[in-house]
Structure 1
Amino acid sequence: MDHVPRLSEAVYVGLCYKLGSPTEVRIRRELMDTDEVVGQPVDIMRGLDRMRSGSRREGCRLRTSDDDWMFWPPDHKVICDLSQISLYRISQHAVILMKCNDLPPGFTRLNMISQSNNSEVISSCVVINNKTYISSTLFRDNYLRFVRSCNVPLTNAFPHGPCSTYSMFQEADTDFAFCIQSHHWPKLALPWIERCCERGWPDQNIVDGILSGGFHVVPIGSTSENELEWRISFSQAKQKVFYSMNHCQFLCYGLFKIFLKEVINGQTNTAILCSYFIKTIIFWVIQKNASSYWTPDNLLSCFWKSFKLLIFMVLTGNCPNFFIPHNNMFRVKVTGSVQYLLLNQLYYLYNMGISCLLLSETIRPFFSLALFNRTLRVGTEESSIISRTDLDMSLFGELLIFHHTLQSAEELAIYIKQIERMIRGVLTSYQTLMLQYMTSCVLRNTAMFLQSCVYLNENGNKFCYKAKVTALLKQSCKFGYLSDTLYLSMYFYRTRRYEDSLSCLHKAQDRFSLPYIMYMDHVNVDMYKHYMERNTLGTKMRRAVVRNIDIYCDYSYIDELLFRAGD
């Protein structure tokens, strides 16, 4: 089937509904980034720095989108050569030297140069020829035990590649990759910098940001027998490259990923290809083609070019890593009879032409609609895809995935300090709203934390900071959702201030009955637009948005919810 711009535009619009419009994706990324910047100092104080990765971080919101996390000890520093050791203080940092000799490209051994205070790292060390190395196998197993000990749902975590994985729901997994960070750039990846300059993608400022962020090493070798090998991971770099893609490129990746899951892998019992291969292919195709090529009316051509590159890579048995091309990611997985069967499958789909997309349950509805209705025309402008009210609904719903539980008053101070620091910078409206929401959560959860704390005064009498808790909860209500007043009501109830509790409930009932209230995906669009159109996002959240309240097991809200032995 020849490429028809009309079909591409129909698929573009359909994917915007499934994966997100340009503004929806931007919202998701800005909220994620803001949450990470504000929470990082608290994470480090707790002992592990972290980064969210995977599909959800990139802006995808499919039912099967994985939620991936990377964790690493912040005082452990990987260096690429000994000259870099002068950049660190041996008394404060555990310095680790990469040794890539006689290993496949993209893999390394980790030689401990200075001592570590991390128990998981210490118990992962092995001595070979009077040199101390960190065993990737022991490191992975130690952190798997650590994950299982954190809370009850995680006791069922299982090893999956370099990760500890658990399934909260049947369709999506959460991966925890415990790793070690380097703030440098590996020598094997230096040619990537030149290639980006020659081809103009990604932009130089993106490349500079990637180089300053460095890379990670994750605990898995080129084969299962090599327990001293670690894989060089460019997850942080990949995320920044991914962010630099335009929306058509983002949707092309989403289209390819859906096609992989529902068609290519859906026809076999064992999935051979993973989304990382697809992402790598998209990166190569973008870098070899001008950005003007990636437009909504050309989406299917972009997909087809990417699909043909996949076939070529399977044919040759070589999928070069985007950052280290000498690292063939098919080296172990796509060989022999597996390679032969996969090539036949892909060649069969290739002979079907672009109509092979009809095999996908997700893509078929909007693709077939345009295919069989030659007069159908769709607008690709965002205003014709999603309304302002729906964007608000998406934004306020997105905030609900962020949780900010606190374990001490010191953590409150760190959070507030970070929020103040960000406020002094240049912010988008979505970042401003995120900081407002975080302030509300932090104040409320600090109040709940203090409520459970009983202190002794000089005379030994117990007292609770009731006035401070009340003040914090009232202040929280000034920043958060309209429904946050229910937390105040619960607090009054627990402290036997029943009249105040009822008063809060009556006020909440009156406000929840207003005609412009937005609850989840329920709203009177006309009323909401009439009353809220000219308000800021923060004002809309405080005056018009109602959400289910979250009850965390970390805190006590009302006595009836407390667990009692024997219950």
Structure 2
Amino acid sequence: MMLWRADHRVIWELSQSQYYNTQRQTLILCDCSDSPKGYALLYLLSPSKLRKVQYACIRMNDRHYISSSNYRQIACTLPTPIYMSPHGPCASGSIGPLEFDNAHCFVSDFWPPSVSSWIERCHSWPQPHIVDDVVKHGCHLVPIGHKLGRNEDNEWRISFSQAECKLVYAMNHCQFLTYGLLKLFLKEILNNGLNDDCKLLCSYHMKTVVFWVIQQNIIPHWCAQNPLDCFWVCFKLILKWVHEGVCPNFFIPTNNMFLSKIHGAAQQYSFNRLYELYGRGFAFLLHSPSIRSSIITAIYNPRYPIQKLCTDEHTLISENEFDIELFTEIQRNDSILIYKTPLQTCIMYLQKIERLISAHPMTQYQIIMVQKLTVSILQNLAFILPLHTMSCAFENKLRYRADKISRYMLKIAATFGCISDLLFMAMYYYKTNRYRKALFIIDVVKLKLANPCVMYMYNVDAEKYTEAVGGQSWFTKMRHAVAGDVTLVNMIHYICDLLPEQQYGLENTTFSLSVPLFVLLNMLDILCCRHIDTIRAQTALNDLQTLVHYDRGQLIYRDFKDISWQILGICQQVTGNLQDAWYSYQRSLRQSHLINKIQTATIMRIQDICQLNSLINIFLYISSICI
């Protein structure tokens, strides 16, 4: 926020004082004679009644000047309930997660004479009426001096923030998208993980480069079909500026905005970092979570003219890196919303997919995404259909037919899905008391996951992956070398052991339950083996306990720690280890509940264990009396 007093006005020449009532308004004269371009000293022409102005004044050459450093410090010490600290020309603070900058400044109704050349430069952009509007509203002066100036503590910087807002509003859609891409690139790639002192390039540099590229007609056609081309042109201009150590201010080109920060070793470091990204082409944008999903198709579309922007297209990204991004996006978007009538909803989705396929040819990216969505719909239908027939009280023959159809749909889903989709078949066999068949599927999944070429989350052995499935279709890769976490729709009951988590999650407006793959795999192994092989069940329980206790994000995503501890507690409880189960539920409560929201179910399970312990103690007491 920029804050200024309406009764204090800045003028550039003494003749401009005729437009003000000096009895009501305090006038401040800009003195640019001894300051770098874009900076000025503020000379108080008439006394100010404002205390912070009085306290900020210093005396130089028998005149009262307003010191920028004093004014900025006073702004940070104003009596507010929020602690504020200096940040550039601003007083910076935060309210919860909201961060803010307050720039206490002065306003000038006149356009600075030193910037008159900018008006003459605006032939093609911006349009004349926008230029007139910009000039009419003048500028501001913010309390910060040039770091290499002789009066750094007392100088004020001329701010064109209001003018820049009007120029941003004057951009077309593609120009605005390019500006947004540059800001995201800066935040999520170039400056990611750096502290403020190491961030050499800032958002203002990104804005400046877009202004220059637009005004100089470097890009003849700004349209929605070429935002990456536009980004690339701006990126190369930034690279050129850093190489030369000169970033010309858009309004005052002689003001080099790199002069005080990007020079010497810092300049060489910045250039090397940008040139390394330049050598990789557009692929470095895939490391931005905000940009990745929007450009992944465009970058690898064979019709996209990317070769003209990068001499070696193989420097973009390796096959396994691209596959990681692709399959991660597929897993992230593989979700369907189930309404109050799950059966009709799934049928409706299948009809939409049928119309989508028959309507027009799809790209290879759309085909693989639709394939995965179809797999998810068939899996959910397989669990819905038997319940629907049972609720309708059909004859045993019809129930058998529904069971047969469900198993057939799960087999189709396993054929077209990834490795982790086999677990839905294992859950169905466990639910219908076919424990040996469920264990056979579990063993198949374990065998597939033991293959070193398997890609799980971002974990993959690039060499083994390329050797096993390199160059093959995405269908083959997904079926034989890709695994992901399992998402259970809370409206559908898969296994009774997770019913409380699904029901309470639904009450907390969470429509799905996300379970880590290896956690669910061990859980099903334990639940099935406790009926037919107790030794294997104990081995699986030990494996699950080791995984949950010692995993550091390799196999269990941090936001899924709650359900992982919960499932460990469930398995310990069903095997009779109530003390360990109570401890696991307590650990589950202490985890993040942003995604699954199962804390209510956890509390309920803890209460059940306490009641069960009480009953056991009563039984033991009665037994001792009888003896």
TM-score by length of 1: 0.52
Which residue in 2 is equivalent to 1:162?
Answer: 89
Alpha-carbon shift at residue 359 of structure 1 (Å): 2.1
Match of 2:8 among 61, 76, 100: 76
User: Aligned partner of 2:55: which letter?
Assistant: S
Residues 1:265 and 2:197 aligned together = no
Give the Cα–Cα distance (whole angstroms) in 2 for the partners of residues 211 and 201 of structure 1: 14
Which residue in 2 is equivalent to 1:366?
Answer: 294
User: Aligned partner of 1:214: which letter?
Assistant: G
Give the Cα–Cα distance (whole angstroms) in 1 for the partners of residues 40 and 109 of structure 2: 16
Give the Cα–Cα distance (whole angstroms) in 2 for the partners of residues 173 and 287 of structure 1: 33
SS in structure 2 at match of 1:193: helix
Which residue in 2 is equivalent to 1:480?
Answer: none
Residues 1:95 and 2:27 aligned together = yes
Kept after mapping to 1: 8 A contact 2:248/2:255: yes
* Distance verdict in 2 for CA 1:371–1:291, change over 3 Å: closer
Alpha-carbon shift at residue 304 of structure 1 (Å): 0.4
SS in structure 1 at match of 2:181: helix
Give the Cα–Cα distance (whole angstroms) in 2 for the partners of residues 291 and 336 of structure 1: 32
Which residue in 2 is equivalent to 1:541?
Answer: none
SS in structure 1 at match of 2:184: helix
Which residue in 1 is equivalent to 2:138?
Answer: 214
Alpha-carbon shift at residue 109 of structure 1 (Å): 0.1
User: Aligned partner of 1:222: which letter?
Assistant: H
Mapping 1:386-397, distance limit 5 Å: none
Give the Cα–Cα distance (whole angstroms) in 1 for the partners of residues 218 and 263 of structure 2: 33
Kept after mapping to 1: 8 A contact 2:219/2:230: no
User: Aligned partner of 2:187: which letter?
Assistant: K
Q: What is the RMSD of the two structures over their aligned residues, measured on CA atoms?
A: 2.2
SS in structure 1 at match of 2:192: helix
Match of 1:202 among 116, 122, 126: 126
Give the Cα–Cα distance (whole angstroms) in 1 for the partners of residues 229 and 301 of structure 2: 20
Give the Cα–Cα distance (whole angstroms) in 2 for the partners of residues 137 and 268 of structure 1: 26
For 1:63-115, what per-residue CA distance to the aligned partner results, in whole angstroms no more than 9, with x for missing partners? xxxxxx00001011111111111111111111111001121100000001111
* Distance verdict in 2 for CA 1:192–1:227, change over 3 Å: same
Alpha-carbon shift at residue 168 of structure 1 (Å): 2.4
Kept after mapping to 1: 8 A contact 2:92/2:100: yes
For 1:505-538, what per-residue CA distance to the aligned partner results, in whole angstroms no more than 9, with x for missing partners? xxxxxxxxxxxxxxxx99xxxxxxxxxxxxxxxx
For 1:100-150, what per-residue CA distance to the aligned partner results, in whole angstroms no more than 9, with x for missing partners? 11211000000011111111111111111211100111111112122xx13
Which residue in 2 is equivalent to 1:288?
Answer: 216
Match of 1:141 among 73, 77, 82: 73
For 1:452-500, what per-residue CA distance to the aligned partner results, in whole angstroms no more than 9, with x for missing partners? xxxxxxxxxxxxxxxxxxxxxxxxxxxxxxxxxxxxxxxxxxxxxxxxx
Which residue in 1 is equivalent to 2:159?
Answer: 233
SS in structure 2 at match of 1:300: helix
Give the Cα–Cα distance (whole angstroms) in 2 for the partners of residues 333 and 112 of structure 1: 31
Alpha-carbon shift at residue 366 of structure 1 (Å): 2.5
Alpha-carbon shift at residue 290 of structure 1 (Å): 7.4
Give the Cα–Cα distance (whole angstroms) in 2 for the partners of residues 192 and 373 of structure 1: 41
User: Aligned partner of 2:154: which letter?
Assistant: L
* Distance verdict in 2 for CA 1:355–1:188, change over 3 Å: same
SS in structure 2 at match of 1:123: helix
Residues 1:182 and 2:119 aligned together = no
SS in structure 1 at match of 2:10: strand
Mapping 1:269-280, distance limit 5 Å: 269=195, 270-280=198-208
SS in structure 2 at match of 1:361: coil
Residues 1:329 and 2:257 aligned together = yes
User: Aligned partner of 1:252: which letter?
Assistant: T
For 1:431-468, what per-residue CA distance to the aligned partner results, in whole angstroms no more than 9, with x for missing partners? xxxxxxxxxxxxxxxxxxxxxxxxxxxxxxxxxxxxxx
User: Aligned partner of 2:203: which letter?
Assistant: S
Alpha-carbon shift at residue 167 of structure 1 (Å): 2.0
SS in structure 2 at match of 1:296: coil
Give the Cα–Cα distance (whole angstroms) in 2 for the partners of residues 184 and 295 of structure 1: 36
* Distance verdict in 2 for CA 1:278–1:377, change over 3 Å: farther
Kept after mapping to 1: 8 A contact 2:41/2:155: yes
Give the Cα–Cα distance (whole angstroms) in 1 for the partners of residues 183 and 264 of structure 2: 24
* Distance verdict in 2 for CA 1:276–1:377, change over 3 Å: farther
Give the Cα–Cα distance (whole angstroms) in 1 for the partners of residues 132 and 186 of structure 2: 32
Structure 2 stretches lacking a partner, 5+ long: 303-361, 366-508, 511-627
Residues 1:85 and 2:13 aligned together = no
Aligned length: 305
* Distance verdict in 2 for CA 1:92–1:304, change over 3 Å: same
Alpha-carbon shift at residue 369 of structure 1 (Å): 3.7
Alpha-carbon shift at residue 355 of structure 1 (Å): 1.9
Give the Cα–Cα distance (whole angstroms) in 2 for the partners of residues 272 and 137 of structure 1: 22
Kept after mapping to 1: 8 A contact 2:12/2:110: yes
SS in structure 2 at match of 1:310: helix
Kept after mapping to 1: 8 A contact 2:10/2:29: yes
Alpha-carbon shift at residue 372 of structure 1 (Å): 4.7
Alpha-carbon shift at residue 297 of structure 1 (Å): 0.8
User: Aligned partner of 1:346: which letter?
Assistant: L
Give the Cα–Cα distance (whole angstroms) in 2 for the partners of residues 157 and 268 of structure 1: 22
Give the Cα–Cα distance (whole angstroms) in 1 for the partners of residues 170 and 276 of structure 2: 34
For 1:368-410, what per-residue CA distance to the aligned partner results, in whole angstroms no more than 9, with x for missing partners? 24445666499xxxxxxxxxxxxxxxxxxxxxxxxxxxxxxxx
Bigger Cα Rg: 2
Which residue in 2 is equivalent to 1:535?
Answer: none
Kept after mapping to 1: 8 A contact 2:10/2:106: yes
Residues 1:129 and 2:61 aligned together = yes
User: Aligned partner of 1:100: which letter?
Assistant: C
Alpha-carbon shift at residue 318 of structure 1 (Å): 0.7
Give the Cα–Cα distance (whole angstroms) in 2 for the partners of residues 260 and 203 of structure 1: 29
Give the Cα–Cα distance (whole angstroms) in 1 for the partners of residues 193 and 142 of structure 2: 31
Give the Cα–Cα distance (whole angstroms) in 2 for the partners of residues 208 and 274 of structure 1: 29
* Distance verdict in 2 for CA 1:128–1:294, change over 3 Å: same
* Distance verdict in 2 for CA 1:377–1:87, change over 3 Å: farther
Give the Cα–Cα distance (whole angstroms) in 1 for the partners of residues 154 and 299 of structure 2: 54
Which residue in 1 is equivalent to 2:609?
Answer: none
* Distance verdict in 2 for CA 1:89–1:377, change over 3 Å: farther
Kept after mapping to 1: 8 A contact 2:282/2:299: no
Which residue in 2 is equivalent to 1:345?
Answer: 273
For 1:236-284, what per-residue CA distance to the aligned partner results, in whole angstroms no more than 9, with x for missing partners? 1011111100111111000011011111112645211110110000000
Kept after mapping to 1: 8 A contact 2:40/2:155: yes
Kept after mapping to 2: 8 A contact 1:73/1:180: yes
* Distance verdict in 2 for CA 1:86–1:346, change over 3 Å: same
SS in structure 2 at match of 1:236: helix
* Overall identity of the aligned pairs, in %: 44
Kept after mapping to 1: 8 A contact 2:104/2:142: yes
